[in-house]
Amino acid sequence: MNYEFSQRVQALKPSAIREIFKYAADPTVVSLSAGNPAPEAFPCKELAEISEKLLRENPVAAFQYSFTEGYPVLREQLKKYMAEKHNSFKDFDDLIITSGAQQVMDLTTKVLVNEGDKVICEAPSFIGSLNSFRSYLGQLVGVPVESDGMNMEALEEALKNNENVKFIYTIPNFQNPSGVTMSYEKRKKMYELACKYNVIILEDNPYGDLRYSGEHIPTIKSLDTEGRVIYAGTFSKVISPGMRVGWCIAPKEIISKIVVCKQGEDVHTNIWSQMVCSEFMANYDYEAHLENLRNIYRKKAQFAMDLLDKHLAPKITYDKIDGGLFIWCKLPENVDMPEFCKTAVLNKVCVVPGNAFLTDENEKTNAFRINFSTPTDEQLEKGIKILGEVANMLF
Ligand SMILES: Cc1ncc(COP(=O)(O)O)c(C=O)c1O
């Protein structure tokens, strides 16, 4: 049979890069390509205790249908937390619980983007979000990322030269994949430009709580006086990605459209997971838990950077990171990056080629991404040593 797919899905082509991931399934390959939390970062004992008590004392609430907007107790907790800790819940805002931050990208695009509308993104950016924008036939406009965030002159050019820009998508903290954090000056400038050109900002902040060194920088949402920032939060990197609990803060009118769309997607986010996250936030020491995660990742990040210095310098360079889960490595300009990644995987270490994260995958880049949170120390040691050997083999 000939299957005729919708135009929206036709636009999503399987990427050549996914070929590389097939190798990562081989247990003898060291995978530095995932973005998963470290296995030791899950609060397993606490989540087991909460689940046991919940299912003993209140099983029907956990198993029954619930509200599309989310578990009311968790919504109130998050509104308070985001207002008090981050000044990121304003009088004009509302909050909906979503199935991870990924669903915020999907729902935001669904409610705002018509076919052919533009979405301005950092180049490089998170592939899952880019694919959500593409799936609604939004056109991606990439703006280069510098060591302190998007190039603001290029952003203004993009806003000036493109019609129907619906929103600017940004990951301001420890960006996936570049590891870059946007400076406070650039956050203010981005907000100013969004006001000047009358566009929305979609601020995706899964790594903000995972700063293990340097100064905290306020969110763009905290600067929002006009109701033009949509904020995506998630428990994926700080409690569990498998539980699929995230949230969206946006002006009330936008949230009410998102609620209708979410009803048609998945009715509501898993209520059992929401209740467990709520209880964890309320009755365990959430701040101490975050501090513990920062300690784990600070150590792992330093371990990985020491290995990069030992095995890859000076041939392969990277910018030191202060948070998040990724390091963006750069090959010399004249080196064939896809060839390097392919040779690495044939030598049993898998990294992600940088072009996977570009708004146009056919563009050239000499970078690749490594993740240090998922592999064990032994795997990191083995994997980065092999990368050094591959570099010595090829250039
Ligand atoms: C920048 C960014 N946004 C969103 C997500 C999706 O997160 P979630 O598991 O909350 O859907 C990820 C996951 O890796 C991410 O890196």
Distance CA 46, CA 42 (A): 9
Please say if the pLDDT value at position 267 is more than 80: yes
* Confidence band of 188 (pLDDT split at 50, 70, 90): very high
The position carrying tokens 């199935």 is: 99
354 lines ligand 1 (CB under 6 A): no
Q: Tens of pLDDT along 59-83?
A: 999 999 999 999 999 999 999 999 9
Please say if the pLDDT value at position 16 is more than 60: no
* Confidence band of 26 (pLDDT split at 50, 70, 90): confident
The pLDDT value recorded for residue 17 is 63
Give the CA distances from residue 374 to residues 170, 239, 322, in Å, rounded to whole numbers and listed in that order: 24, 15, 18
- 104 CA: nearest ligand 1 atom: 11
Residue closest by Cα to atom 14 of ligand 1: 35
Please say if the pLDDT value at position 14 is more than 70: no
**Residues in a beta bridge with 231:** 203, 249
- State the average pLDDT over residues 25-46: 92
Residue 118 is which amino acid? K
Residue closest by Cα to atom 7 of ligand 1: 101
Q: Annotate 103-165 with DSSP letters as a single string.
A: HHHHHHHHHH--TT-EEEEEES--HHHHHHHHHTTPEEEEEEEETTEE-HHHHHHHHHH-SSE
* Confidence band of 18 (pLDDT split at 50, 70, 90): low
Q: Tens of pLDDT along 211-262?
A: 999 999 999 999 999 999 999 999 999 999 999 999 999 999 999 999 999 9
Return all residues near 353 (Cβ < 8 A) that are at least 6 apart: 17, 20, 337, 338, 341, 368
The pLDDT value recorded for residue 13 is 66
Give the CA distances from residue 114 to residues 129, 196, 202, 332, 391, in Å, rounded to whole numbers and listed in that order: 16, 22, 16, 40, 45
The pLDDT value recorded for residue 285 is 95
**Helix, strand, coil in percent for the chain, rounding step 5:** 45, 15, 35
Please say if the pLDDT value at position 90 is more than 90: yes
The pLDDT value recorded for residue 89 is 98
The whole-model pTM stands at 0.96
Calculate how far, in angstroms, residue 242's C-alpha sits from the geometric centre of ligand 1: 12
Helix (H, G, I), strand (E, B) or coil at 11: coil
* Confidence band of 167 (pLDDT split at 50, 70, 90): very high
- 204 CA: nearest ligand 1 atom: 3
The pLDDT value recorded for residue 10 is 79
Q: Tens of pLDDT along 373-393?
A: 999 999 999 999 999 999 999
101 lines ligand 1 (CB under 6 A): yes
Please say if the pLDDT value at position 360 is more than 90: no
Calculate how far, in angstroms, residue 29's C-alpha sits from the geometric centre of ligand 1: 24
- 175 CA: nearest ligand 1 atom: 1
102 lines ligand 1 (CB under 6 A): yes
177 lines ligand 1 (CB under 6 A): no
Percentage of residues in the chain having pLDDT higher than 70: 97
Which domains does the chain carry?
A: 7-43+288-394 (3.90.1150.10), 59-283 (3.40.640.10)
* CB neighbourhood size of 182 (10 A): 24
Mean of per-residue pLDDT scores for the chain: 95
Q: Tens of pLDDT along 113-133?
A: 999 999 999 999 999 999 999
246 lines ligand 1 (CB under 6 A): yes
Q: Tens of pLDDT along 291-350?
A: 999 999 999 999 999 999 999 999 999 999 999 999 999 999 999 999 999 999 999 999
Residue closest by Cα to atom 16 of ligand 1: 176
35 lines ligand 1 (CB under 6 A): yes
Calculate how far, in angstroms, residue 206's C-alpha sits from the geometric centre of ligand 1: 6
Calculate how far, in angstroms, residue 191's C-alpha sits from the geometric centre of ligand 1: 23
Pick the more confident residue, 20 or 262: 262
- State the average pLDDT over residues 126-149: 95
